[in-house]
Amino acid sequence: MQMGLKGKVAIVGGASQGIGYAIARLLAAEGAQVAMVARRTEALAEAAARISAQTGSRTLAIAADIRRGPDCERIVDEAVAGLGRIDILVNNDGAPPLGLLADFDDAAWDKAVQQNLMSVVRLSRRAIPHMKSAGAGRIVNITALSVLQPMAKFGLSVATWAGVIGYAKTLSLEVAADAITVNTICPGRIATGRLAKVFGDAANPEDAGLALELAKQVPLGRIGTPDEIAGLVALLVSDYGGYITGSTLHVDGGRHASIL
């Protein structure tokens, strides 16, 4: 399928592994140039080189910490300087620590707010003028199902990503006249390092029973893949996604226990 991404420029966060890597790879395969962002310089450079070799599309590795305001500005500036424009911004990163809300001090809360919420605010604010100059744009935020269906010990993520959903919905109204869409994806249980960290390593034979139990809790009977999140992102940022904005979409194999 031709998705109209050839010649577009995308910034993708958390792109050295997991969901971010899958998104960067698919967008590059569809013809986009991709500025890939992550904190670990060596792993990011290897990931960017691998995607470029596989797809033939240009990639740009930008090592940065999105929890820092100056880094968010630098990400956008380097992407424009290196690739010429910005059409797509995918806000994606890891997640704050797990634990009881009563146990987190102000420093932990501040780190969570900077990572999950303020990074989205800063990157979007910096990128939007370039999207306006390009005549259109796409912003996609990656959060988690827990923001719609809270779980104990996930409070730092739930609270800060709830802010992202509110921010994204409001922003979608404010930039719609500029042909910029803003959407949020809430993945369920996806086979990534995060899932392994929270629930155990499914590749470990000792955890095979746990992996099976997790799959049983999903109506479709399996854990999702990063490529399945990437596919939805590609749709949302493509020509086919131009009439979708202000939406919060859960990709979870049917786990979300609500009619909305």
Residue 56 has pLDDT above 50, yes or no: yes
Say whether both 49 and 168 belong to one domain. yes
Note the pLDDT of residue 200.
Answer: 60
pLDDT tens track for 166-195:
999 999 999 999 999 999 999 999 988 766
Please give the pLDDT value at position 193.
73
CA distances from 176 to 84, 118, 119, 155, 248 (A): 23, 21, 21, 31, 16
Q: What CA–CA distance (Å, rounded) separates 124 from 119?
A: 8
pLDDT of residue 171: 99
Do residues 32 and 154 both lie within one domain?
yes
> In terms of Cα–Cα distance, which of 230, 94, 248 is closest to 171?
248
In a domain, 4, yes or no: no
Q: Is 200 inside a domain boundary?
A: yes
Same domain, 41 and 67: yes
Structure tokens at 156: 């730092």
The answer to whether 251 and 257 are in contact (CB under 8 A) is no
Averaged pLDDT for residues 196-200: 62
Structural domain count, the chain: 2
Q: What is the extent of the structural domain holding 211?
A: 191-223
Q: Which two tokens stand for residue 15?
A: 């792109």
Question: Same domain for 244 and 200?
Answer: no
The verdict on residue 260 lying in a domain is no
| For the chain, percent of residues with pLDDT exceeding 90 | 87
Task: Give per-residue pLDDT as tens, 114-147.
Answer: 999 999 999 999 999 999 999 999 999 999 999 9
Secondary structure of residue 62 in the 3-state scheme: strand
Residues 218 and 102 placed together within one structural domain of the fold: no
The rounded distance, in Å, linking the Cα atoms of 198 and 215 is 15
Cα–Cα distance measured from residue 39 to residue 45, given in angstroms and rounded to the nearest whole number: 11
Helix ranges (H only) for 56-177 are 69-83, 106-112, 119-134, 155-175
Q: Model's pTM, two decimal places?
A: 0.94
